[in-house]
Amino acid sequence: MRYLLLLLLLRTAQLMAQPEPEWFSYPGSPVAGRFDDAFFVNDSTGWTVSSDGDIFKTINAGKDWGLQLHSADYFRSVEFFDDQTGFAGSLYGRLYKTMNGGDDWYEISDSLPGSFDGICGMSAADDSTIYLCGVWFSPAYIFKSTDCGHSWERIDMSDYAYSLIDMKFTDGNHGFATGQSATLTEGGIVLYTEDGGENWEVKTTTGRTNDYVWKIQLLDETHMFGAIAAVSPGYKTRFLKSEDSGMSWEVKTVNEEYYYVEMCGFMNADTGWTGSYEILETFDGGETWHMNSFGYNMDRFFKVNDNLAFSTGETIYVYSDTTYVAPVDTTVDTTTDTTTTLIHELNHIHQIISVAPNPSTDHIVIDYKIDRFTVIDLAVFDMQGNLQKKFYHGKIQPGDYSITWQHNLPPGEYVLCMHSNEGLLWKKFIVQ
């Protein structure tokens, strides 16, 4: 009896001594303005793509990343059929393909019918069918291939959506696409098809003007989650949840305060994260949340298995639980505290230099700087998130810009928002 008790106590002590699941980044992980996407074919081999035009590959679960391609593109998406055949989509109207695991990448943009501004989302539906969608700044379209990317058909989605950002297919016919509603006033949208994209059904909208449904996750056969990106401060932080395989959705509050959100992902039905510049964490399926800012400028969450996940931001973050056995030679030396991710300084790429005079009475002068070719949406909102003035929406070259606006806004607080490929900037001003 005493022997059994000692064994029980020893086992309890061992369990209590096990480290808690946590997010960390390996020393030497690549850094960029942002890594927008990652895709793994197993628990060791995966790829990630960056805004700096780089494609990296790992064969040891993210401990080391090898650069496979450097280009002048802004890479937005990456997807593989298997460990050999994959695709990378650019926001600069280009699509790349590899057939040897990324050792060689070839531009195949000319194989897609018609012109396109970029590829934001990808989903390999089966062994030979893949869907692509774009783009976050309009117009909305989908490309479909049923022969591993040798030939493509284009599906015009402008009747359903103003823009498309992400997609997930469960087989060749059934899948979801997310973005903004065609009218914009209905906010973010989740679309569903069960006939390979010939027809689409609106499954939900967020009901807030200028919302996006950004990234979505199919966790299991029943649970799905979506990030709600609100461009204008003034809204609560929210996310989408479905418990019936995406047939119905609920908009749920993350925080009464406003946080900009692009990434949303769950490890299981209870434990998940959402955010972008700040990260919030839940352990009860999204009923309550608290801060866990393990990274910055987050976009994609990719769950590999029940014990391993990755998230992309300005570097690559790894999440593993206590039962995960790391691949050979990937164990981090925790004695030097390398498993603790440092919170990097919030260094934005572009800049809103000034909104003046502030306070304002009848006009404002907006000075801003663009440091690379990109797409921006520049607009003024009130603090309830209502659009007051849209100044610019489209592609823009690097440079210094200035806009003078004669307004008749009623007294109150307002916010100038600049949404770009690289993220969201805003600056408040007061009208007297």
pLDDT surpasses 70 at 89: yes
pLDDT at site 338: 31
Greatest extent of the chain over all pairs of C-alpha atoms, in Å: 86
CA neighbor of 230 nearest in space, from 34, 368, 424: 424
pLDDT at site 337: 33
Fold of 20-336: Methylamine Dehydrogenase; Chain H (2.130.10)
pLDDT surpasses 70 at 327: no
Q: Rounded mean pLDDT of 144-173?
A: 97
pLDDT at site 13: 43
pLDDT surpasses 50 at 343: no
Q: Mean pLDDT over all residues of the chain?
A: 89
pLDDT surpasses 70 at 336: no
pLDDT at site 235: 81
pLDDT surpasses 80 at 341: no
Instruction: Please state, as a whole number, how many other Cβ atoms lie within 10 Å of the Cβ of residue 290.
Output: 9
Percent of the chain with pLDDT over 70: 89
Q: Are 203 and 240 in contact (CB under 8 A)?
A: no
Q: Report long-range pairs for 406-412 (Cβ below 8 Å, ≥24 apart).
A: 406/362, 406/363, 407/360, 407/362, 407/363, 407/364, 407/431, 408/362, 409/360, 412/382, 412/383
Q: Model confidence at 322, in pLDDT bands (50, 70, 90)?
A: very low
Distance CA 350, CA 231 (A): 16
Q: Do domains 20-336 and 351-431 have the same CATH topology?
A: no
pLDDT surpasses 90 at 182: yes
pLDDT at site 344: 37
Instruction: Please state, as a whole number, how many other Cβ atoms lie within 10 Å of the Cβ of residue 29.
Output: 21
pLDDT surpasses 80 at 430: yes
pLDDT surpasses 70 at 47: yes
- Evaluate the CA torsion angle 108, 114, 118, 120 in order and state its sign: negative
Q: Model confidence at 333, in pLDDT bands (50, 70, 90)?
A: very low
pLDDT surpasses 80 at 6: no
pLDDT surpasses 80 at 21: no
pLDDT surpasses 60 at 213: yes
The pair of structure tokens assigned to 49 is 């793509």
Per-domain residue ranges of the chain: 20-336, 351-431
DSSP string, 191-217: EEESSTTSS-EEEEE--STTEEEEEEE
Q: What is the CATH number of domain 351-431?
A: 2.60.40.1930
The pair of structure tokens assigned to 132 is 């692509």
Q: Are 105 and 68 in contact (CB under 8 A)?
A: yes
